[in-house]
Amino acid sequence: MSKALVLILVSAAAQAAEFDCVLEPRQTVELRTPGTGLIERVNTDRGQFVRQGQVLVELDSGAERAALDVAKHRATMEGALRSGESRLAYATMKLVRRDNLVRDNFISKQDRDESATEKKLAESELQDARDNHRLAQLEVKRNDELIRLRVLRSPVSGVVTERNMNPGEMADPAESKKPILRVADIVTLHAEAILPAEVYGFIKIGQKATIRADGAVKLVTVGTVKVIDRVLDAASGTFGTRLEVANPNLTIPAGIHCKVEFADVPALVSNPARRVRPKPPT
């Protein structure tokens, strides 16, 4: 190997620093029911991949469906509306005739006022019928929502990490109880790394870095810096940073140790035995 090539390799190595990291799910979601209910179906199991919006758990909803049928029937009942409209039409015609008669002095104004009052009462009754019909329509929507709450869909795409309940058991929304399922969002992974304070000036939001894993899972990919802690740990002289790693095919498992390599950070600072204080770029 020529001296020039050796110098190039040494120079390239001196321009890259490597630090320990851990790949974690972007978020872990606990699936609980909004209310107590009997579990009818659990459509997934631990270790299975799920997509956002996929139905995972169904609770018994017989009572809610019966209430929905009743509400739908009430929403289609228009007898009170038709009766109110007919009564108002008759009262209106009667008032018109009384107006003509009182103008010709055939009846007293009191008779005309009674007809006007009947018309107003008919208008009020028709408005009540319309309000009740609208309430029946809203009751249909309410019961639809109650049934929707009896079906638990996955809020994220990822993998089921826990299944704690089975069909026939009573789901309880209390925080003290175990969730029915726990789903980890691994479509995007977080690479959490603790870096020495000396490299603080080298790390920038949006900066790219190489993520490697050489253990049981072999991995080489690219991460993007999304979070840089603005408060350093004075005791250890370190700070935390988070990189996002795309995992659209869900092929990269979470929970593995990795190495993150920053091409623009001098390698000496990643070795505590040889650590120096590099001058951050201006």
DSSP string covering 25-90: EEEEEEE--SS-EEEEEE---TT-EE-TT-EEEEE--HHHHHHHHHHHHHHH--HHHHHHHHHHHH
Pick from 246, 242, 256, 259: which is nearest to 186 by CA?
246
pLDDT at 165: 93
pLDDT at 281: 52
pLDDT at 268: 52
164 neighbors 151 (Cβ within 8 angstroms): no
pLDDT at 58: 93
Q: How far is CA 89 from the centre of its chain?
A: 52
pLDDT averages per 10-residue partition of the chain, 282 residues: 38 64 94 90 93 93 86 83 84 81 77 82 86 88 88 92 93 86 94 93 92 87 94 93 92 91 71 46 52
pLDDT at 79: 83
* pTM of this structure: 0.66
SS3 at position 226: strand
Collect all residues with Cβ–Cβ distance below 8 Å to 146 and sequence separation of at least 6: 61, 64, 67, 68
